[in-house]
Amino acid sequence: MTRLVVLTGAGISAESGVPTFRGPDGLWEGHRIEDVATPEAFERDPHTVLRFYDERRRALHGVEPNPAHTALARLERAIGADLLIVTQNVDDLHERAGTRNLVHMHGELRRAQCLSCGARPAWDADLAPRPACPVCGERMLRPDVVWFGEMPYELDRIEQAVVAADVFVSIGTSGAVYPAAGYVALAAAFGARTVELNLESSDALIPFDDARTGPASTLVPAWVDEVMRAGA
Ligand code: OAD
């Protein structure tokens, strides 16, 4: 069986209406990263940081998965555990499209993390009012998203899958943030064929074997059709 690892970034959700980070209308525009996405920002001004993520979480109610998310879910139904999706996105559009074998390496908007007891409960309400942790009762919840300077989740699992992959596919990510940006070189070093599906060529460390440019909502379903025809 062909083993596939698909790395996704903000570009896969752009056509659903979730802003990317670095585009002209990007999410960081108007916000300095260090004011909203670092542990120091949270210590300095927790209310601003919590409100920033509360807004992002609320915005998820108004968006839906697009054909790129649903095509990847269709591929998983066909090939099962031979496909691992590693997303840098904190939205829940892959799950809502039906994907199950998924790693949220930068965390999830719809999850909180308790700074007192370490619980990571599913969470859909605002955090700025400082609600109590459902496990320990302390009012020390933060969004369960990975901030700059923090360690992404499940790196061992991801690296094992990347080195074992026959095909590594990068979708809608600029290649600006490590360790995710390094996975293409790691996959290639271990013999994987590398594919990029992006609106424009990214700043990848090494050239992809196959780089296709265009919107994810058309490129991804077309690529999934090809893989399924080839009987991956
Ligand atoms: P970026 O905003 O850096 O990059 C988005 C990428 O998507 C760019 O390469 C665009 O060309 C591409 N893109 C935009 N629209 C697209 C479309 N319709 N179809 C296909 N591609 C499209 O977002 P990420 O690479 O995901 O981390 O950013 C990586 C990390 O940086 C994020 O997870 C976040 C951020 O800081 C943390 O917050 C820790």
Q: Is 83 strand, coil or helix?
A: strand
CA contacts within 13 A on the Cβ side of 59? 15
Does residue 52 line the site of ligand 1, with CB under 6 A? no
Q: Can you tell me which atom of ligand 1 is nearest the CA of 20? A: 2
- Give tens-digit pLDDT for 41-85: 999 999 999 999 999 999 999 999 999 999 999 999 999 999 999
Distance of CA 141 to the CA centre of its chain: 22
User: In which residue are the tokens 């969004």 written?
Assistant: 143
How confident is the model at residue 35, as a pLDDT? 84
- Give tens-digit pLDDT for 185-213: 999 999 999 999 999 988 777 899 999 99
Q: Other C-beta atoms within 10 Å of 18: how many?
A: 21
Query: What is the pairing mode between strands 107-114 and 141-145?
Result: antiparallel
- Mutating to test ligand 1, I would choose from 32, 173, 223 the residue with most ligand atoms within 8 A of its C-beta, which is 173
How confident is the model at residue 28, as a pLDDT? 62
Cα 127 to ligand 1 centre (Å): 25
Minimal-distance CA residue to ligand 1 atom 25 = 173
How many angstroms separate the CA atoms of 219 and 216, rounded? 5
How many angstroms separate the CA atoms of 134 and 121, rounded? 8
State if pTM tops 0.85.
Answer: yes
User: In which residue are the tokens 């007192």 written?
Assistant: 116
Indicate if the pLDDT at residue 3 is higher than 70: yes
Closest of 211, 185, 181, 184 to residue 198, by C-alpha: 211
Q: What pLDDT band is residue 160 in, cutting at 50, 70 and 90?
A: very high
CA dihedral 14→18→21→25, nearest 10 degrees, is 80
Closest of 38, 69, 48 to residue 150, by C-alpha: 38
How confident is the model at residue 109, as a pLDDT? 98
Does residue 200 line the site of ligand 1, with CB under 6 A? yes
Q: What pLDDT band is residue 22 in, cutting at 50, 70 and 90?
A: confident
Does residue 135 line the site of ligand 1, with CB under 6 A? no
Query: What is the pairing mode between strands 102-104 and 193-198?
Result: unpaired
Cα 37 to ligand 1 centre (Å): 15
Active-site residue, 104 included = no
Q: Is 18 strand, coil or helix?
A: coil
How many angstroms separate the CA atoms of 127 and 95, rounded? 22
How many angstroms separate the CA atoms of 155 and 173, rounded? 18
Amino acid at 216: A
- Mutating to test ligand 1, I would choose from 6, 12, 18, 22 the residue with most ligand atoms within 8 A of its C-beta, which is 22
Cα 41 to ligand 1 centre (Å): 22
Q: Average pLDDT of the chain?
A: 94
